[in-house]
Amino acid sequence: MPVRLILADDHVLVRQGLKSLLETEGFVIAAEAADGREAVRLARTENPDVAVLDISMPHFNGLSAALELSHAAPRVRLIVLTQHDEPQYVSEALRCGVRGYVLKNQAARDLVHAIRSVCRGEVYLSPGVASAIAETYSAAKAEAAALSVRERQVLQLIAEGDSTKRIAVRLGISAKTVESHRTKLMQKLDIHDTATLVRYAIRRGLTQP
């Protein structure tokens, strides 16, 4: 049976290029998503073998989507496709359940290898991030504050400038619950103002500066 994939990237041209490349290699594109929230929904309904997620997407970025999928659809193998080779992004991706980390400038060469590797139960990292491996694992172990999936989603949306009311609408929860999540994540991170919270989200690769 051919490997079934979901492609998630907010740029249509990127998705089209990836689709052409992967179909040539015999993979089946089961669905495409333009943001992380749509990727999570499609992964639940389409039951793909692999989800290829861009990190920099609106609503839920690729890492937030990966974390939710690692709990909601653990059978799906997760690969992120990104321009970021910084250690904090690699660390965050692995903590979120990602099994493949591919740099966009090496995608044509590496993505097919990454898909086949994760389907065999292996971890695949583009050679361009190999030097970050040691720091990746030490950073992951040193992470003291383990945020829940929902807290991470709230954190990303706060960092993107959404109001409490807007976050509540996007996540389908009450404004009071949003405030509760904000309070808890600030306590866990020992952060006491929004500006510092945004800087933390940027450092951890949850949003873009």
pLDDT digits (tens, 9 = 90+) for 131-163: 666 555 555 444 545 678 888 889 989 988 899
Q: Per the structure block, which two tokens stand in for 72? A: 């909601």
| SS3 of residue 84 by DSSP | coil
Q: What are phi and psi of 9, to 5 degrees?
A: -155, 140
| CA 108 distance to own-chain centroid | 20
pLDDT of residue 80 exceeding 60, the answer is: yes
pLDDT at 182: 92
Domain 4-141 architecture: 3-Layer(aba) Sandwich (3.40)
67/73 Cα distance (integer angstroms):
10
List the chain domain ranges.
4-141, 149-203
* Length of the chain counted residue by residue: 209
What integer is the mean pLDDT of 102-123? 91
CB count in 10 Å sphere of residue 131: 12
pLDDT at 204: 73
pLDDT at 138: 53
Confidence of residue 56 (pLDDT cuts 50, 70, 90): confident
Contacts of 131 (CB under 8 A, 6+ apart): none
CB count in 10 Å sphere of residue 164: 17
Stronger pLDDT, 201 or 42, i.e. the higher one: 42
pTM: 0.70
What integer is the mean pLDDT of 38-52? 94
Domain 149-203 architecture: Orthogonal Bundle (1.10)
pLDDT at 165: 94
pLDDT at 35: 92
